[in-house]
């Protein structure tokens, strides 16, 4: 059974003749006749009485309401696809890591809402691993996350590198590690740390670094917001390893101190600086949809200068 056969059947039922159906469908009468014969052959029963006026048989009467429903569903589906092509989608869902939600994304969101006022923009702040999972599950259209090559592989995935940034140490202003401009790894490992919960790329990055140092990470507390990190560290005992862009407010807080990491006196031969890479991820098919493509381009155009401006203003 083919769609054009059902459409020919509906046209005959509406016009009452094969000739009228041919005009309605824009094909020849012989084409309509072949389509109905093929449909009747598939079903095993005649659908019309071949008289001066094509009247439905019992089988035709049973088929008619279902054929209408099938045709309506097809028209609805094709209209939705056409709307997607034209950019007429009801919403755009994005998953973003916390630091970008707070300090980079708002101007981009405002620009997008101005350019696509009819699209409801939904932004969710998630850890990187969780954000990539909901992207793969089709629950969001685009994710801006810390890169995880194990979750961004696949022929359907499109990955755009946005920037690399250093990981720094957050401590209370009165903490012993705040006395110097730089913190050595050999000193850092002796203090209990506040870390991100499972599902956050930073937790994995920090854990991997300590394993390479053959040291034990003293993860005393798990949190998942930047406010919580600042609040806990401010108490004086704990330290936290956080990316540069997540420390904008901490730099302006006299009760806190941000210090750079140094590889001097390192515990291993691993002399690579600790950084994280932030990427934007979507799928091939989504990037063909105008609102998603537009948001993607806005991020590409805006994030390097915007990110640099935020960091300079916080210094």
Tokens 């359907």: give the residue: 156
Residues of the chain with CATH 3.40.190.290: 164-276
Q: Which CATH number fits domain 164-276: 3.40.50.300, 3.30.230.10, 3.30.950.10, 3.40.190.290?
A: 3.40.190.290
Nearest to 200 by CA among 232, 169, 246: 246
At residue 154, the pLDDT reads 80
Residues of the chain with CATH 3.40.190.10: 91-163+277-314
Q: Are 155 and 108 in contact (CB under 8 A)?
A: no
Q: Which CATH number fits domain 3-85: 1.10.3720.10, 3.40.190.10, 1.10.10.10, 3.40.1350.10?
A: 1.10.10.10
Calculate ∠ Cα 234-232-249, nearest 5°: 60
At residue 269, the pLDDT reads 47
Q: Are 232 and 194 in contact (CB under 8 A)?
A: yes
At residue 230, the pLDDT reads 94
Residue-level pLDDT, tens digit, the chain, 315 residues: 788 999 998 999 999 899 998 999 999 999 989 999 999 999 999 999 987 788 999 998 999 999 999 999 988 888 777 777 776 678 999 999 988 887 788 899 999 999 999 999 999 998 888 999 999 999 999 999 998 887 888 888 999 999 999 999 999 999 999 999 999 988 998 999 999 888 788 888 898 888 888 888 898 999 988 899 999 999 989 999 999 988 989 999 999 999 998 865 545 544 557 889 999 999 999 998 999 999 999 999 887 655 555 455 444
At residue 315, the pLDDT reads 47
- Looking at the DSSP bridge assignments, the partners of residue 258 are 170
Single pTM value for the model: 0.73
At residue 304, the pLDDT reads 66
At residue 87, the pLDDT reads 66
Cα separation of 190 and 216, whole Å?
A: 9
Please provide the distance, in angstroms rounded to a whole number, between the alpha carbons at the two ends of the chain. 69
- Looking at the DSSP bridge assignments, the partners of residue 239 are 193
Q: How many CB atoms lie within 10 A of CB 270?
A: 13
At residue 89, the pLDDT reads 76
Q: How many CB atoms lie within 10 A of CB 78?
A: 10
- Domain 91-163+277-314 coded CATH 3.90.950.10: no
Running DSSP on this structure, what letter comes out for residue 221? E
Residues of the chain with CATH 1.10.10.10: 3-85
């Amino acid at each position: 059974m083919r769609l054009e056969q059902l459409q020919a059947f509906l046209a005959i039922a509406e016009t009452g003749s094969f000739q009228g159906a041919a005009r309605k469908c824009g094909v020849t009468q012989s084409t309509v006749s072949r389509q109905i014969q093929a449909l009747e052959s598939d079903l095993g029963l005649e659908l019309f009485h071949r008289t001066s006026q094509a009247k439905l048989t019992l089988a035709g009467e049973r088929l008619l309401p279902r054929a209408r429903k099938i045709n309506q569903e097809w028209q609805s589906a094709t209209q939705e696809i056409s709307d997607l092509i034209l950019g007429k989608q009801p919403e755009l869902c994005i998953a973003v890591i916390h630091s970008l939600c707070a300090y980079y994304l708002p101007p981009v969101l405002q620009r997008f809402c101005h350019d696509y006022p009819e699209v409801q923009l939904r932004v969710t702040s998630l850890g990187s691993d969780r954000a990539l999972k909901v992207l793969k599950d089709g629950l969001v259209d685009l994710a801006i996350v810390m890169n995880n090559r194990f979750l961004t592989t696949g022929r359907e995935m499109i990955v755009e590198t946005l920037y690399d940034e250093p990981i720094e140490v957050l401590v209370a202003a009165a903490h012993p590690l705040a006395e110097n401009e730089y913190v050595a790894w050999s000193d850092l490992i002796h203090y209990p740390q506040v870390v991100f919960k499972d599902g956050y790329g930073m937790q994995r990055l920090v854990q991997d670094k300590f394993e390479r140092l053959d040291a034990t990470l003293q993860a005393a507390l798990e949190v998942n917001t930047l406010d919580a990190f600042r609040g806990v560290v401010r108490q004086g005992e704990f330290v936290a390893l956080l990316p540069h862009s997540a420390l904008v407010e901490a730099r302006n807080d006299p009760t806190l101190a941000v210090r750079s990491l140094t590889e001097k006196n390192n515990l291993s031969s691993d002399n690579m600086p600790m950084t994280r890479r932030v990427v934007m991820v979507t799928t091939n098919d989504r990037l063909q949809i105008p609102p998603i493509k537009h948001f993607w381009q806005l991020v590409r155009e805006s994030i390097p200068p915007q990110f640099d401006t935020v960091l300079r203003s916080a210094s």
